[in-house]
Amino acid sequence: MTVKLISEFSHFWRKTSQVSLEMGKIFVEGVGEVQEYVDVCDYAVGLSRMIGGPILPSERPGHALIEQWNPVGLVGIITAFNFPVAVYGWNSAVAMICGNACLWKGAPTTSLISVAVTKIIAKVLEDNRVPGAVCSLVCGGADVGTAMARDERMDLLSFTGSTKVGKQVALMVQERFGRSLLELGGNNAIIVFEDADLNLVIPSALFAAVGTAGQRCTTARRLFLHESIHDEVVAKLSKAYAQVRIGDPWDSDTLYGPLHTKEAVKMFLDAVEQAKQQGGSVVYGGKVISRPGNYVEPTIVTGLPHNAPIVHTETFAPILYVLKFKEEEEVFAWNNEVKQGLSSSIFTKDLGRIFRWLGPKGSDCGIVNVNIPTSGAEIGGAFGGEKHTGGGRESGSDSWKLYMRRSTCTINYSKNLPLAQGIKFQ
């Protein structure tokens, strides 16, 4: 069935660039997103032969102690506009191999993509004598999402989106003692030390800040530079920004396309103005691009303090705040001082510093990188973050456990009835 799904996706996406049309990301990123769905299907099939609970030693003679994992039942999946294919793939592929059915609500602004993906999945399921309704779709706005969050038939609700909406979803699900999986916002930082390889830093910072026009939850929004290399990196990065090819997302040569909506453009302009008012200087970009569509210039802002309100605000747009630091201890603290805790990166050759970064006094994020950007996570690792990012994990590692319910089972195969803890009940 996985081979058939891969074939159907490949056939469909060769003919159309629906992701670029409806979401606005460049064509190669759209292809990469579909490939991610294909890859997670492959991953899930392998995982299906490995999931299970341990057999534990029992303290009582003639007893066996095991963990049994069963499907939760129905998984509700609410996804955001920025990854209208891949995030559903993470959830649905793992949910299905755990034995669940899925009900998906994609973003209302990418509903054609949701319909196209659902038709592909339904065909593959039905070709393999599985009801297409195992992966069902509903379209609509916040009212539909609210109904899903409040419906007790949703055994698990997975929500990917903003922290603001995620908090409302969590409260509604918790009110009925339901289970939720939250993957929310990120205010991600890259830290560059004086010993960093700048040949890695410049393309990494560029990709992390400008990729998907800054509309990834893992987008780099803060760039901390050691004071000894600050000016050099800003100059090199500004030069790299000037070489970014801006244009039609369907054009294979384009590296940077439009924002998703006009509201996003307004949010961008408001953030740039706030940055100026709070002491920042725009060294690159900062304006709307005069062409049809929601195009804005990728933007670099310097001179702000690390705790400026706008720096602590996640703006879903291509604005990078560049900040100076002196010491390792202070910059690690600055990385952690924002409310979100999704992704983080350092660039250094110092082995001791690398392990301090990974340790309890280092990054408090769910994704902690070294010498790579904040974005571009692989499917094999659990994806998600801490604090206001929600604490959820999608795909990878042992995240399959979130899509199942666990039972601790004790089996007495003897003719006696010894009690735990050696209790004697006469």
Closest to 320 (Cα-Cα) out of 300, 347, 344:
300
DSSP code per residue over 217-282: TT-EEEEEEETTTHHHHHHHHHHHHHT--BS-TTSTT-SB---S-HHHHHHHHHHHHHHHHTT-EE
Closest to 407 (Cα-Cα) out of 47, 54, 101, 50:
54
Tokens of 85: 């294919």
> For residues 343 and 220, what is the distance between their CA atoms, to the nearest angstrom?
8
- Placement of tokens 């700048």 in the chain: 198
Q: By the 8 A CB rule, do 148 and 154 touch?
A: yes
DSSP code per residue over 405-417: EEEEEEEE-SS--
| DSSP label at residue 51 | -
394 included as an active-site residue = no
> In this structure, which amino acid lies at residue 301?
V
- Placement of tokens 């990012």 in the chain: 389
Catalytic residue (one of 29, 183, 328, 394): 183
Catalytically active residues, by annotation? 183
